[in-house]
Amino acid sequence: MHLSLNHSLNSKMMMNERICKVIKMLQEIIEKSTLLTKSSSWAKNFWNSNCSEIVMKSRWLQIVWKTQSTLDAWNDYLKHNDHKNKIIQQAKCAHFRSQMHELSNALKLIWCFAKWIRIESRLSKKLSQFLSLKQSDTDQMTTTFKKKIEILQEKFFFSFF
């Protein structure tokens, strides 16, 4: 709905029309921005009205199958359940893509994304490694883990005794 204020409001009739349009626009804005249900910790961000409708139909087909116990009812339920899973998966993917798009545009959130990747990655974590150490006797660099331990023990623990 578009309101242009370029036209002059000559009559009371035109003013009433404009006021009605403004009221209608405000009502639409209120309807779209007001949640009808209380938010829950179980609520999923990707869930939309399509998901709700398809789940309700799936539940109804399950009830039909349980009450009728026919092969056709069972096949209808299975086919619709597969369709339901596909719709929910598409909603999840679309939500994930939109989140990734938002993250790529926001500089502060990119670090949250990096932290998530680090925590959620399934790769095995590598042990932290020391740099090569120099032996005091030979002035050679050591790269083996056992030699590094020996050098550190010698430096920090044996020098006190």
* Residue range 2-11, pLDDT digits in tens: 555 555 557 7
* Residue range 79-129, pLDDT digits in tens: 999 999 999 999 999 988 888 777 666 666 666 666 666 666 655 555 556
Tally Cβ neighbours within 10 Å of residue 54: 19
Whether pTM exceeds 0.75? no
Percent of the chain whose pLDDT exceeds 90: 23
pLDDT at 40 over 80: no
Torsions phi, psi of 29, nearest 5? Answer: -65, -45
CA distances from 67 to 72, 85, 139, 149 (A): 13, 23, 85, 72
CA distances from 8 to 1, 3, 15 (A): 19, 12, 9
Q: What is the pLDDT of residue 120?
A: 61
